[in-house]
Amino acid sequence: MAKLNKEEVLNFELGVADTPWMDTPTVFKEGMYCHAAKKKTLDVVGMPNTHDWSSSDEDWNLPEDWKEILLDGMKDRLEKYRSFRLFMDVCVRCGACADKCHFYLGSGDPKNMPVLRAELLRSVYRRYFTTSGKLFGKLAGARDLTEEVLHEWWYYFYQCTECRRCSAFCPYGIDQAEITIMGRELLNLIGLNTDWIAGPVSNCFMKGNHVGLEPQTIMGNVEFMMDDLEEATGVHCEPSFNRKGAEILFVVPSGDLYAEPGTFTFMGYILLLEHLGLDYTLSTYASEGGNFGFFTSNEMAKRLNSKMYAEAKRLGVKWILGGECGHMWRLVNQYMDTWNGPADFLEMPVSPITGTKFENAASTKMVHITEFTADLIYHNKIKLDPSRNDHLNVTFHDSCNTSRAMGLLEEPRYIVKHVCNNFHEMPEETIREKTLCCGSGAGLNAGENMELRMRGGYPRADAVRSVIERFGVNTLANICAIDRAAMPALMDYWVPGTRVTGVHELVGNALVLGDDDYRQLDLRLEEIPNAKQPPAPEPEPVAETAEGEASEGGSNA
């Protein structure tokens, strides 16, 4: 057989593209992007320059002056947001962020390196807003804003989940999520949103939640869930809706109101709150903790966020309790007070059960339910039987927003360790502030981009796999509605057989409602293996079998 030239065969590329990134064309690949936003959907909330277009077409039917609109928009934002201007200038391209992005780790596409994703915008900034860029163009890392550049922006700014893991490793603290946020905000100036984001925004604006659940649907769904709860626990719960004068307004992500496994988490919340006899109410108007406006523009996020405070004011509650949600808590913790605060009409949250003042929420007046429940457990105010969760071998996924934007690291773990006997952490470099994203946040949890989601979630799934291999973990707990919606698919693909659950589903299972609580079913109405059995009743004296009466056999036979 003829031998091949060794040098020739070994001369493979070293992972470096043939062309510089600016000259490497962006190819739209199926499964990597979402459908375009519909004009009528954007019109509901009065977005500018809406038009019909398709993300898979070459011609996006752009407004004639699209370039001026974008450059004017960029100028406005550079003047308005000091952080944006700083982040456009300050990066030294050290590459510390490059391999921290789950999308880069899952795909190897260099334009998914956070530094390069930011460079997509920076190159245009330099060309039009810096002297060096104006004079030296490409030599200074600047490039013209063209339709190809615009397409590239759209493709890659909707391949970022704004998880901010890269920011945790940036020596300058550049918040790459803010760059994506600005990129998306600019695209929205010319009607270029995705339908998966624009739809929930208009639904939320019109009906109070992302999927457009109307009040009667919410109440109907809750009724179903309460039926299941009664079947599992024997306790009938009737949470109130829109009740004026309640002490607490309870706001959950709407995913918990209609989709599994979020519905089981909702059942856990309600079982706990009803068991405590808390004076709380749900709202069918502020029926969404999440906020896809945040993935559209600052102004839209502010508008949608305001409903929670408005409803709290209308109902006259004292404070707000929030469910297990991710980006909801970044907004509550970092933005809400600036947007719509101060909420002076509310009071500093105080747990009516333990008396704990939640001083961390002194300004927003909003408490995360894991803070509330951890406090209950700490003060020994609820009785728990963690053995009911013994068939679950649990690990905990820190949601990006609650961990990096809120520092909510210990409370959920504290709860899980009290309601489960089997808990194992994932490797240190994949949890807490360094947590890996689910790959579906920031409005990317659509169906048509499933490949993108599977790529992005792969590093997280592999960390789960590692604890499956080492400890036999079979359950992934989390405190984010998007995690609960998106991770079942992620787990099914990469680590099949892994259950996804909210923390309060585990709480609901473990909660002992009274001395006679010998429930045999969990909140999914599945049998609890080795469930404790009620004590056998005192044997009654055996009556003698009457002559001629049918016998069951045995000793009487």
Partner 1 sequence: MSALTEEIAKGKDSIMAAWEKSATALKGPSPFPVRKGQGRFANPAAYHREEGMSDVLDWLCADEVEEIPASLGDICRIKAVQDDKPSQSLAFLFDLKNIIRSVVGSAATEAEYRALDEQIDALALHSFDYFVACRNQIAQLRVEEVSRGEKMLLRRLEKLENKEMNGENLA
- How far the first Cα of the chain sits from its last, in Å, is 88
| One character per residue 21-60, x = contact with partner 1 (rule: CB under 8 A) | --------xxxx----------------------------
Q: For partner 1, which is the closer residue by CB, 208 or 386?
A: 208
Using an 8 Å Cβ cutoff, are 184 and 160 in contact? no
247 touches partner 1 (CB under 8 A): no
Q: For partner 1, which is the closer residue by CB, 259 or 409?
A: 259
459 touches partner 1 (CB under 8 A): yes
Name the one range near partner 1 by CB under 8 A: 72-80, 144-152, 201-209, 458-466: 458-466
497 touches partner 1 (CB under 8 A): no
SS3 66: helix
3 touches partner 1 (CB under 8 A): yes
63-92 binders of partner 1 (CB under 8 A)? none
**What token pair was written down for 180?**
């994506």
**At residue 118, what is the residue type?**
A
Using an 8 Å Cβ cutoff, are 382 and 272 in contact? yes
Name the one range near partner 1 by CB under 8 A: 133-141, 332-340, 485-493, 523-531: 485-493
Using an 8 Å Cβ cutoff, are 358 and 371 in contact? yes
Q: How far is the CB of 171 from partner 1 (least distance, A)?
A: 16
433 touches partner 1 (CB under 8 A): no
Q: How far is the CB of 16 from partner 1 (least distance, A)?
A: 7
538 touches partner 1 (CB under 8 A): no
Q: How far is the CB of 238 from partner 1 (least distance, A)?
A: 18
527 touches partner 1 (CB under 8 A): no
463 touches partner 1 (CB under 8 A): yes
485 touches partner 1 (CB under 8 A): yes
Please pick, from the candidates 494, 513, 517, 532, the single residue that binds partner 1 as defined by CB under 8 A: 494
Q: For partner 1, which is the closer residue by CB, 332 or 476?
A: 476
**CA torsion, ordered 237, 238, 241, 246, to nearest 10 deg:** -80
Burial (Cβ within 10 Å: 0-12, 13-18, ≥19) of residue 532: middle
Please pick, from the candidates 23, 72, 359, 429, the single residue that binds partner 1 as defined by CB under 8 A: 429
Using an 8 Å Cβ cutoff, are 482 and 329 in contact? no
16 touches partner 1 (CB under 8 A): yes
Q: How far is the CB of 466 from partner 1 (least distance, A)?
A: 7
Q: Which of 71, 33, 58, 21 is nearest to 156 (CA)?
A: 33
CA 233, CA 168: separation in Å to the nearest integer?
Answer: 43
Using an 8 Å Cβ cutoff, are 343 and 318 in contact? no
Within a 10 A sphere around the Cβ of 307, how many other Cβ atoms?
22
Using an 8 Å Cβ cutoff, are 225 and 282 in contact? no
Q: For partner 1, which is the closer residue by CB, 107 or 399?
A: 107
Name the one range near partner 1 by CB under 8 A: 73-81, 100-108, 322-330, 516-524: 100-108
Q: For partner 1, which is the closer residue by CB, 45 or 495?
A: 495
Q: Which of 246, 268, 265 is nearest to 320 (CA)?
A: 246
Phi then psi dihedrals of residue 253, to 5 deg? -70, 140
Q: For partner 1, which is the closer residue by CB, 495 or 511?
A: 495
Q: How far is the CB of 219 from partner 1 (least distance, A)?
A: 12
1 touches partner 1 (CB under 8 A): yes
Q: For partner 1, which is the closer residue by CB, 19 or 131?
A: 19
5 touches partner 1 (CB under 8 A): yes
Name the one range near partner 1 by CB under 8 A: 309-317, 445-453, 514-522, 527-535: 445-453
Q: How far is the CB of 402 from partner 1 (least distance, A)?
A: 21
**What token pair was written down for 498?**
């892994």
DSSP string computed for 437-492: P-S-TTTT--STTHHHHHHHHHHHHHHHHHHHHHH---EEEES-HHHHHHHHHHHH
Q: For partner 1, which is the closer residue by CB, 106 or 191?
A: 106
**What token pair was written down for 415?**
């709860």
108-137 binders of partner 1 (CB under 8 A)? 108-110
Please pick, from the candidates 258, 335, 396, 423, the single residue that binds partner 1 as defined by CB under 8 A: 258
93 touches partner 1 (CB under 8 A): no
Please pick, from the candidates 46, 48, 220, 245, the single residue that binds partner 1 as defined by CB under 8 A: 220
Q: How far is the CB of 469 from partner 1 (least distance, A)?
A: 11
Using an 8 Å Cβ cutoff, are 404 and 165 in contact? yes
Q: Which of 38, 40, 50, 72 is nearest to 191 (CA)?
A: 50
Any residues with CB less than 8 A from the CB of 262 and at least 6 apart, and which?
A: 253, 255, 256, 481, 484, 485, 502
Name the one range near partner 1 by CB under 8 A: 147-155, 277-285, 333-341, 454-462: 454-462
* Max CA pair span of the chain: 113
Burial (Cβ within 10 Å: 0-12, 13-18, ≥19) of residue 7: exposed
* Whole-angstrom Cα Rg for the chain: 27
Interface contacts to partner 1, rule CB under 8 A: 1, 3-6, 9-10, 12-18, 29-32, 98-99, 104-110, 220-221, 224, 257-261, 263, 427, 429-430, 447, 450-451, 454-455, 458-459, 462-463, 466, 485, 488-489, 492-494
